[in-house]
Amino acid sequence: MPGALKPFTPEGAQIKDVIRIVETELDGHKPIYVELTRLAGVNWRFSHAICEALGINKWRLLGSLSDEELEKLEDCIKNPEKYGIPKWMFNRQRDLEDGKDKHLVGPDWKIRVQFDIKREMELGTWKGRQHSYGLPVRGQRTRSHHRKGRVVGVQRKK
């Protein structure tokens, strides 16, 4: 096995330039571990868990996977519970609509996040108001940051 951080390709494998997974085009010349994070709803930890669940070396080039491996990879991304990935890694735990643990990826995840923000704003919660004002939501300071695009400071008389 090559070095831990060096991408590699199995001997005799042809590398595909572009791979389409979950309605996203990924570069086939980069490692699986890195390219999976470009999918909306997949972070570094979840990408690592997918590679471990499938038994694939995470530094292998994405374009070197066979069609069967790519189908299995996409199925694992869409249905992680089937492959033994723990529920605490899912991005929708105890969903408000049905109370189930889910992991959403791609456009489904983006739409769900937008609806969550819209719901918070309609309810008039503090978090919703911060979103509507364009301020930070998770407790960051606002005195010295988050002033982009606004009038800042005091002008002195000339």
- Judging by beta carbons within 10 Å of its beta carbon (0-12, 13-18, 19+), is residue 35 exposed, middle or buried? buried
Q: What residue numbers bound the domain in which 135 lies?
A: 106-148
Q: Does position 3 have pLDDT exceeding 70, yes or no?
A: no
- CATH for 25: 1.10.8.50
Tell me what pLDDT residue 152 has: 57
Q: Does position 71 have pLDDT exceeding 70, yes or no?
A: yes
Query: Does one domain contain both 110 and 84?
Result: no
What CA dihedral angle connects 99, 103, 105 and 110, to 10 degrees? 40
Closest CA to 6 of 34, 26, 27, 25: 34
Query: Does one domain contain both 69 and 111?
Result: no
Tell me what pLDDT residue 154 has: 67
- CATH for 135: 4.10.910.10
Q: Model confidence over 75-94: pLDDT tens digits?
A: 998 888 888 888 898 888 88
Q: Would residue 7 count as lying in a domain?
A: no
- Strand positions, DSSP E, the chain: 18-21, 24-27
Tell me what pLDDT residue 44 has: 93
DSSP assigned state of 16 = P
DSSP assigned state of 30 = S
Query: Does one domain contain both 85 and 119?
Result: no
Could you tell me the pTM of the whole model? 0.74
The pLDDT confidence band at residue 4, using thresholds 50, 70 and 90, is low
Tell me what pLDDT residue 115 has: 92
Tell me what pLDDT residue 26 has: 87
Q: Model confidence over 100-147: pLDDT tens digits?
A: 888 888 888 899 989 999 999 999 999 999 888 888 888 888 877 777
The pLDDT confidence band at residue 153, using thresholds 50, 70 and 90, is low
